[in-house]
Amino acid sequence: MKTTHILPMPLSDRWLIGLACLVFVALALLPLVASALVVDKLTLLFILIMFAVMWNLLAGYAGLVSVGQQAFVGLGGYAMIRLVEAGLPPFPAIFMGAALTGLAAWVLSWFVLRMKVGEFAIATWVIAEAIRAVVSFDPLIQGETGTSLVALNAYAPEIRRLTVYLLALASMGVMIWGTWRLLHGRIGAQSQAIRDDEGAAASVGISTFQVKQRIYIIASVGCALAGALWLASAITFQPRTAFGVQWSVFMLFMVLVGGLGTFIGPILGALLFFALQEIFGDFGAWYLAGIGIVAIVFALYLPRGLVGLWLDRGCDEPLSMRKRLGLAPGQTPRA
């Protein structure tokens, strides 16, 4: 097998990584001077970025377009509630709940990943609704009334807010770094090959089901972790909200606006979506209409999202592996 020579990381990418590290450190120190409102809003931003990065990993790189990722958002919060009820402290329960959700995703993967693209998208939504209905029957949840994570009230509000903020920041950082490492490895090349032509990928010896299963479970665990962190911030758990389809709509919007199948795109899309929420969130239905208009504009005039503007200038995507492999823009690395 021919070995592809990997060039050194471009200077621009190294500068970008350095800048990202500085921003991360600044965000870690920000609660020392920022108000409680700013901390809460940034916590939500970190969660949105996690959602976007995970959905892009699933749909943008593995070609698994899901409209049911809210199943894992809700399961992450529900598992956390059940673990706390069993006696586990709330903050460790965030990560344990995400791990248990990964086990549920592993079970589901044996069924949904054998479906075709259209069937997969519909099945994920149906499964999410079915799980929401089952969770609603739990006496602890009290149907659509929901319940509150009262164990968090044992912590002072400022301590709880700071802890959730730092956990969300750290989780976001790990997801972004982990996704970058994953996509620059063998599984990243294999997943993109499957996305482009699954039959051709299988013909060269790639275990398509195994690769898709790994991506599916990783994305599910990431969404569950973000969902548990959201619950730790909101405290109140209601099935209709936790399992609401709006989570998948948000993910889809952020990724498509930022750039599907790009590394930087979902982060840019999450920042834009967060800004739109902050500017127009108080306008009620007009806010939703504005989100729809933005989505239509991007679909018509910027189908490759914000990153597409950069690519259309003949430049390679920041932090992309293509330049280091000496490939032309748009060319997929071989598995």
User: Tens-digit pLDDT profile for the chain (335 aa)?
Assistant: 344 455 566 777 788 889 999 999 999 999 999 999 999 999 999 999 999 999 999 998 888 999 999 999 999 999 999 999 999 999 999 999 999 999 999 999 999 999 988 899 999 999 999 999 999 999 999 888 889 998 998 899 999 999 999 999 999 999 999 999 888 888 888 887 888 888 888 888 888 899 999 999 999 999 999 999 999 999 999 999 999 999 999 999 999 999 998 889 999 999 999 998 888 777 776 777 777 788 888 878 888 888 888 877 766 777 665 555 444 544 544 54
Q: What are phi and psi of 233, to 5 degrees?
A: -80, -40
Strands (E) across 166-273 are located at: 236-237
pLDDT reported for residue 332: 47
Give the pair of three-digit tokens for residue 16: 């970008």
For residue 148, give the 3-state DSSP assignment: strand
Give the Cα-Cα-Cα angle 168, 173, 176 (nearest 5 degrees): 120
C-alpha pair distances (Å), 191 with each of 112, 146, 206, 246: 17, 38, 9, 27
Number of H helices, E strands in the chain: 15, 2
**CA separation, residue 143 to residues 130, 132, 295 (Å):** 14, 10, 34
Instruction: Give 3-state DSSP helix, strand, coil % of the chain, rounded to 5.
Output: 75, 0, 25
- Pair 48, 250: CB distance under 8 Å: yes
Question: How far is it, in rounded angstroms, from Cα 51 to Cα 225?
Answer: 10
Q: What is the pTM of this model?
A: 0.91
* pLDDT given for residue 285 in this prediction: 67
Q: Is 162 helix (H, G, I), strand (E, B) or coil?
A: helix
pLDDT confidence of residue 269: 95
Cα–Cα distance, 122 to 129 (Å, whole number): 11
- Fold of the domain built from segment(s) 35-324: ABC transporter involved in vitamin B12 uptake, BtuC (1.10.3470)
CA distances from 172 to 49, 177, 208, 293 (A): 7, 9, 28, 29
Identify the sign of the CA torsion 129, 130, 131, 132: positive
**What was the pLDDT predicted at 32?**
93
Lookup result for tokens 């070609």:
63
E runs forming strands in the chain: 147-148, 236-237
